[in-house]
Amino acid sequence: MSGRTTVQNAELALLLEVTGTPKPGNVDRRREFEDLRFEHFMAGAVGARPGLARAADGERIGHAFERAVAGMADQSAGNTQFGALLLLTPLVAAASTGELTPSDADRAVRATTVADAADFYRAFEHVDVAVDEPPAGLEPLDVRRGSDAIPAVEDRGLTLFDVMARSADVDGIAAEWTGQFGRTFDAAESILDDDGPVPARTSRAFLELLADERDTFVVTRNGPEAATEVKRRARAVRTGAEDATALAEDLVAREINPGTTADLVAGALFVALERGLVV
Amino acid sequence: MSGRTTVQNAELALLLEVTGTPKPGNVDRRREFEDLRFEHFMAGAVGARPGLARAADGERIGHAFERAVAGMADQSAGNTQFGALLLLTPLVAAASTGELTPSDADRAVRATTVADAADFYRAFEHVDVAVDEPPAGLEPLDVRRGSDAIPAVEDRGLTLFDVMARSADVDGIAAEWTGQFGRTFDAAESILDDDGPVPARTSRAFLELLADERDTFVVTRNGPEAATEVKRRARAVRTGAEDATALAEDLVAREINPGTTADLVAGALFVALERGLVV
């Protein structure tokens, strides 16, 4: 078993995620976007660490998350790992207080408060995050308003768990928060059960998740049809009907970046490292 | 200016070094060795951090280094960044006490003691490091003896600076310790004066150093002729007579890995980050 701490495993999970190759549509060792490059993810992971350390030290999840995002954003590309940190923060908190199990992670997110929700809104001040328009009548709670939305959150007495529950049907990370982190833990077991170098296992876990459900980041940025196409083609890769590298080249060229699925992989790598994955 | 701490910059320097591509003969984003892969450098950097933090906190350089090596070695490939840590530890110490200048770094290494030398020997217990046979009569001081050599070091009253001075003519990192870190600071300025993405600047700084002096790790592992060939061909890349990627493929295939030059680049990236290099 490695002597790494929980925080080191969380940081390493972020680094291993971007190292996984090919991860069609994502930044990986062979592909990147002109304004979102491999090195930005390195700096994002290093910058996020102090915030993750706060979660390990038992600080409020929302505050730890906001600090992690602030540190992550200390590079020139803006948002690299916002969703991954939203997933990792409660997992780090759970790992630091007891066992890293679905029920402990569930307990951690259900214990969040209105103050955590306010922190979450503050985190949007640090980076631009692609999100949907809020439903009619919920404009005051639009995350893009950042801190300006906090009075509306407080008026309604919404905890961070409540905020996540409201977008669980359109956001894959929120769905993890309200679903006992089911896909994250399942993907961790896939990675542990697999063999070979970790970046290859990471690529396979990514494709498995991508074939399993539409990526909500692609739905938001590129539309539902693009997300359905990506899911269908990821399935084709798994059956051997399509080549993963060719799919990767095509998606990057079209700027279709399944970022939520990458975030899930980062969470899964963290769980796998905590459970003894050898690098 | 980034809000990263000195320790974060040191860790990021290790990550950016391996991200620099192409770095002929080294592990980079596109090339690796079967038993020494990209992800091992990620884990090495994350693992080294607590040791580097000790240097920033003013702990003895030797002990901080030994702890950094122990953490670095917590991955399955063994030695990934031993030389880079030997270079970074005094630079981190210097950056944390005053200005990161050649004279402050020089003061830090000249202040090392016999206890630091003992720590240095202990660091060899954690990993296999390729080194030359000791000169006749100096077998008791062979670093490959690890802790067993400490009584001989103590009998002779050798400080860690003294130990480095004895191998400065055959080891490029030791030469930095005794030469005011001249090549490291020069390469940092090259990186800062360059433009474009940091991994491309890193590649160019690596080739510049490689063309400038024979890599001592290649001398030790592959012999002086191979080292001379690498230097000559790195010069050819700089004049446009040879292609960097073709050289990279050839050197990796022949397992000629200019590791000391990569270590110098890691040190240079750290200095550049401390001086405001934007990622």
**Tens of pLDDT, residues B140-158:** 999 999 999 999 999 999 9
Closest CB to B12: pick one of A3, A43, A279: A43
| pLDDT for the residue A131 | 84
Q: Which pair of tokens denotes residue A145?
A: 């308003």
Instruction: Indicate whether this model's pTM tops 0.95.
Output: yes
| pLDDT for the residue B257 | 95
Mean pLDDT of A205-218: 97
Q: Which amino acid is at B218?
A: V
What CA–CA distance (Å, rounded) separates A22 from A249? 10
| pLDDT for the residue A134 | 84
Q: Is A278 on the interface with B (CB under 8 A)?
A: yes
Q: Which pair of tokens denotes residue B207?
A: 């080739």
Residues A245 and A159 sit within 8 Å (Cβ to Cβ): no
Mean pLDDT of A97-120: 96
- The predicted complex's ipTM stands at 0.96
Q: Which pair of tokens denotes residue B7?
A: 């320790």
The enclosing H or E element of A188 equals helix A182-193
Shortest CA gap A224–chain B (Å): 33
Give ∠ CA A178-A183-A185 in degrees, rounded to 5: 100
What CA–CA distance (Å, rounded) separates B121 from B159? 11
Mean pLDDT of A224-248: 96
| pLDDT for the residue A150 | 97
Mean pLDDT of A43-66: 98
Residue A145 DSSP label:
G
Partners of A39 on chain B (C-beta within 8 Å) are 16, 19, 197-199, 279
Q: What is the 3-state secondary structure (H, E, C) of chain B?
A: CCCCCHHHHHHHHHHHHHHCCCCCCCCCCCCCECCECHHHHHHHHHHHHHHHHHHHCCCCHHHHHHHHHHHHCCCCCCCCCHHHHHHHHHHHHHHHHCCCCHHHHHHHHHCCCHHHHHHHHHHCCCCCCCCCCCCCCCHHHCHHHHHHHHHHHHHHCCCHHHHHHHHCCCCHHHHHHHCCCHHHHHHHHHHHHCCCCHHHHHHHHHHHHHHHCCCHHHHHHHCHHHHHHHHHHHHHHHHCCCCHHHHHHHHHHCCCCCHHHHHHHHHHHHHHHHCCCCC
Q: Is the pLDDT of residue B131 over 90?
A: no
Q: Is the pLDDT of residue A6 over 90?
A: yes
| pLDDT for the residue A178 | 98
If contacts are CB pairs under 8 Å, which of residues 71-90 in chain A contact chain B?
Answer: 71, 74-76
Q: Is A112 on the interface with B (CB under 8 A)?
A: no
What CA–CA distance (Å, rounded) separates B258 from B218? 6
What CA–CA distance (Å, rounded) separates A73 from A41? 10
What CA–CA distance (Å, rounded) separates A141 from A135? 10
Mean pLDDT of all residues in chain A? 96
Mark yes or no for CB contact A8/B47 under 8 Å.
yes
Mark yes or no for CB contact A16/B39 under 8 Å.
yes
Q: Is the pLDDT of residue A104 over 90?
A: yes
Least confident of A252-266, B130-144, B178-192: B130-144
State the maximum Cα–Cα separation within chain B, in Å, rounded to a whole number.
53
Produce one character per residue of A158-174: b if its CB has 16 or more CB atoms within 10 Å, e if not.
bbbbbbbbbbeeebbbb
CB-facing half-sphere around the CA of A223: CA atoms within 13 A: 4
Q: Quick one: which of A87, A88, A107 has its CA closest to A97?
A: A107
Mean pLDDT of A170-181: 97
What CA–CA distance (Å, rounded) separates B55 from B48? 11
Kindly state the percentage of chain A with pLDDT values over 90: 94
Burial of B87 (0-12, 13-18, 19+ CB in 10 A): buried
If contacts are CB pairs under 8 Å, which of residues 123-162 in chain B contact chain A?
Answer: none
CA-based nearest residue in chain A for residue B43: A12
Q: Is the pLDDT of residue A1 over 80?
A: no
Mark yes or no for CB contact A42/B29 under 8 Å.
no
Burial of B83 (0-12, 13-18, 19+ CB in 10 A): buried
Q: Quick one: which of A191, A159, A150, A206 has its CA closest to A178?
A: A159
Q: Which pair of tokens denotes residue A19?
A: 């190292």
Mark yes or no for CB contact A71/B3 under 8 Å.
yes
Mean pLDDT of all residues in chain B? 96
Residues 6+ positions from B177 with CB-CB distance below 8 Å? B86, B90, B109, B161, B164, B165, B168
Q: Quick one: which of A75, A112, A78, A76 has its CA closest to A94?
A: A112
| pLDDT for the residue B229 | 97
Give ∠ CA B113-B116-B118 in degrees, rounded to 5: 115
| pLDDT for the residue A135 | 79
| Three-state secondary-structure class, residue A167 | helix
> Number of helices and strands (H, E) in chain A?
15, 0
CB-facing half-sphere around the CA of B24: CA atoms within 13 A: 31
What CA–CA distance (Å, rounded) separates A204 from A260? 16
